[in-house]
Amino acid sequence: MTAAVAEPPAAPAESSHEEPAAFFPHRPATLEAAGLPIAEVETLVLKILLNRGPTSGRDVARQIRLPGGLIADFLRELKRENVVTYRRDAGPNDYFHELTDVGAVRAARAHDRCRYDGCAPVTLGQYVESVAAQTLRSQTITPAALRDALRGLQVSPETFSQLGTALGSVGAMFLYGDPGNGKTTIAERLTRAYGEELWIPRALQIGGETVRLFDAAVHEELAAVDERPACDERWVRIRRPTVVVGGELTLEHLELIMNPVSGVMEAPVQLKANGGTLVIDDFGRQQMNPDSLLNRWIVPLERGYDFLNTPGGKKVKVPFDLLTVFATNLRPTDLVDEAFLRRIPFKIRAGDPSPAEFKAIFEALAPQMGLTIEPGAVEALATDHFVSVDRPMRFCHPRDLLLQVQRRASFEGLPPIATTEALTIAVKNYFSDL
């Protein structure tokens, strides 16, 4: 049985030491070391000056996140070529730069091709090397690490073992069972067992396209570590990601997508999840049928790499280094055929709590919510409103019913006590079959 609320029983202390990431992006000394063609740097600089007007060399370097010295040399070369000119001083050894007529024509052409004017991209080759150096497959999953990841949740020994085995294999799993038993909550926690740190590029160069990879909506940037050497600022240190997609998922989300508002190419969800976990929540209820999704991912799930189609018609090989979790209320055998089930080697059921677990969850949650429980109230609740009416207990029920008690007590000025009467009123409010 699996759950989403009570603290697991204490276990013998184990080391959960995490090895530091094997990869570190050192600051490049030259544009060649950064892997950037001169033409790529030029188009970014020109678009910045086109969109922002006169800009200091320091601000240009800050925008594209390359060392100021490299950009200062590059801007001087552009001035010699009559592409930019100096508007006025911008401090020691710096100027406000603006486009000449020649530069404005070049900038407009570059902008028409691609509106992106942010951080300079990292090459696909550099990204592939970084994924290999930080791969989930090099992480050691220990019981202590998984226990820490699931802290605050209650998981049976059998399910705990299944989850640990699945994490160690870094493949795909079905996490299935009835609604309210914590499937999504568990899935969202699993990444924590792999360790914390991951470096990813802010943007990638894929098949001639600049693709934005870092997404503040799904990636959590970590604070800088002062004692480390100077890093390449085109990279960002993040917490290993957990990307959750639901019913809105379509096949288009699995390809490079042009954002119609920003005019910038966005990475697909599986690329954003590299180094972490991709949760397909409520699997089977997407706008596309399950077979379409699994057909799309036969090669990635088996081989650890994917192919993306660029707008220019190129097919580009990219890493697929992530744990894929299909969370669903439906039985896996009702969703896909045997051939697909074989490619998803772990099927883990999130079952209902036992009466003892049900009571333990109430007792663990009530103090956290500022409530006390009247002796015998939970037993009466279980007998009268679950067992006698053949209603299944779910792991979400204690939290939801106690919230009802808490809110009613606050509104009516009642003592914060979960009495038999208060829980009965909560049941009548909560269940639609009374």
The stretch 155-175 carries a mean pLDDT of: 89
d(CA 189, CA 384): 34
Determine the pLDDT at residue 11. Answer: 39
Residue 15: pLDDT band (50, 70, 90) is very low
- Decide if 281 contacts 246 (C-beta within 8 A): yes
d(CA 166, CA 141): 10
pLDDT in tens, 213-228: 999 999 999 987 766 6
pLDDT in tens, 258-298: 887 777 899 999 999 999 999 999 887 777 778 888 888 88
pLDDT in tens, 82-118: 999 999 999 898 999 999 999 999 999 999 888 899 9
pLDDT in tens, 346-388: 999 988 999 998 999 999 999 999 999 999 999 999 999 999 9
Inform me whether the pLDDT recorded for 235 exceeds 70. yes
Determine the pLDDT at residue 12. Answer: 38
The stretch 28-54 carries a mean pLDDT of: 92
Burial of 38 (0-12, 13-18, 19+ CB in 10 A): exposed
d(CA 37, CA 35): 7
d(CA 262, CA 83): 26
Residue entry with tokens 């300079």: 120
For 79, other C-beta atoms within 10 Å of its C-beta total 16
For 204, other C-beta atoms within 10 Å of its C-beta total 25
Determine the pLDDT at residue 18. Answer: 43
- Decide if 87 contacts 96 (C-beta within 8 A): yes
The stretch 396-414 carries a mean pLDDT of: 96
Residue 250: pLDDT band (50, 70, 90) is confident
Residue among 61, 46, 51 nearest 94 (CA): 61
Q: Are strands 209-212 and 257-258 parallel, antiparallel or unpaired?
A: unpaired
Average pLDDT of the chain, as a whole number: 88
pLDDT in tens, 176-209: 988 888 898 999 999 999 988 899 999 999 988 8
Which of the 8 DSSP states describes residue 194?
G
Determine the pLDDT at residue 9. Answer: 36
Residue 19: pLDDT band (50, 70, 90) is very low
Sign of CA dihedral 69, 74, 79, 85: negative
Residue 20: pLDDT band (50, 70, 90) is very low
All structural domains of the chain:
37-118 (1.10.10.10), 126-349 (3.40.50.300), 355-430 (1.10.8)
- pTM (2 decimals)? 0.83
Inform me whether the pLDDT recorded for 21 exceeds 80. no
Residue 434: pLDDT band (50, 70, 90) is low
d(CA 273, CA 253): 13
Determine the pLDDT at residue 433. Answer: 66
Percent of the chain with pLDDT over 70: 94
Determine the pLDDT at residue 8. Answer: 36
Question: Residue 286 is encoded by which pair of tokens?
Answer: 């997407």
